[in-house]
Every structure is written in C-alpha cells, then in structure tokens.
C-alpha cells in the first residue's frame, strides 16, 4: 500500500484518479494500481517526488 503521504495528498489523488481512468481493469483488482506505483517508485531510484503527475502516470501505465 502506498500512503498518500508518499506524494502530497493532492497529487496522489490526481494520480490514482488518472490511472483508474486510463486502466479501468486495474481499478477492479484491489491493490493493482498501488503495486504498480510501488514498482514505478522502485524503478525511479526509490522516489516519485519531483516528478509530474503525468510522468508518474506514464511510468506506471507501462507497468500496468
């Protein structure tokens, strides 16, 4: 699970909403988007902060 504190709450909300819109099949399975975000963070040198919502969504979409 990724805490909203990992990103600021507003960015986290925007990001998860955008990913649910792009990948409706992923939002049906509990935790799939969160797992993909964790992997994107791991692939991005352990951080998502400093990246735009669009950039994180693109990296996470590749994983999903």
DSSP state string for 19-62: HHHH-HHHHHSTTHHHHHHHHHHHHTTT--TTS-HHHHHHHHHH
How confident is the prediction along the chain (64 residues), in pLDDT tens digits per residue? 455 555 556 777 888 888 989 998 887 776 888 889 889 988 877 777 778 888 989 999 999 9
**pTM of structure:** 0.71
């Amino acid at each position: 699970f990724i805490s909203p504190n990992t990103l600021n709450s507003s960015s986290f909300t925007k990001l998860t909403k955008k990913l649910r819109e792009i990948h409706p099949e992923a939002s049906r399975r509990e935790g799939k988007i969160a797992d993909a975000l964790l992997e994107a963070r791991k692939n991005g040198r352990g951080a998502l902060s400093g990246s735009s919502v669009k950039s994180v969504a693109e990296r996470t979409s590749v994983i999903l």
